[in-house]
Amino acid sequence: MKRSSFLLFLFFILLTGLTNGQLKIGYVDSDSIMDKFPDAQDARQKLDAFIKDWQAELTKLETSWKTKYDDYEKRKLIMTDQTRAETESELIKLEQQIGDYREKKFGTNGELFQKQDEIMKPVQNKVFTAIKDVAKDEDLDFIFDRSGDVMLLFAKDEYDVTALVLEKLKLK
């Protein structure tokens, strides 16, 4: 549906462009821009540091659970019913803590997505501003991203404005 709507939109735009004059279209490779743009690399490193810390804490919790579980398995036959029930309850509680922590940090609305938005948004804004500046400087009507959802099956290299966007980002 998304692709067919886009193709229909593109068809009408191109049809309009053919009747009104020449359309100028360019494209960028945003993955390449993000790989080469120092601000993006710094942002990724910050995000990776958060992920590493959270992953270490999660590993610590999982190791604690595993140790308690192994101990429980070794001793459950000699435990009283009350001690066994308490230990099982403790293991279940610890398992829930692990799940809660994982959800809090890495879940759909977790801190990872919040940090990603907080850290990457300024970088994305700089890239978008540079793309708009290049479009204005080069008098382009459209700029597509070959890294995104829009399928760009073919384009001549002369329409690739990735290098111009990277150059704009260096000037700022």
CATH number at residue 122: 3.30.910.20
Q: What are 160's strand-pairing partners? A: 27
Q: How many domains does the chain have?
A: 1
- What single-letter DSSP state applies at residue 108? T
pLDDT score for 3: 54
β-strand 25-28 against 142-145: which pairing, if any?
parallel
- Where in the sequence is the domain holding 80, given as residue range(s)? 21-171
pTM as predicted: 0.69
Q: What is the pLDDT of residues 108-120, one digit of tens each?
A: 999 999 999 999 9
Instruction: Give dist(CA 46, CA 18) in Å, integer.
Output: 47
Q: What is the predicted pLDDT for the residue at 171?
A: 61
pLDDT tens column, 21-72: 688 888 888 899 999 999 999 999 999 999 999 999 999 999 999 999 999 9
Residue 124 lies in a domain: yes
* Residue 138 maps to a domain: yes
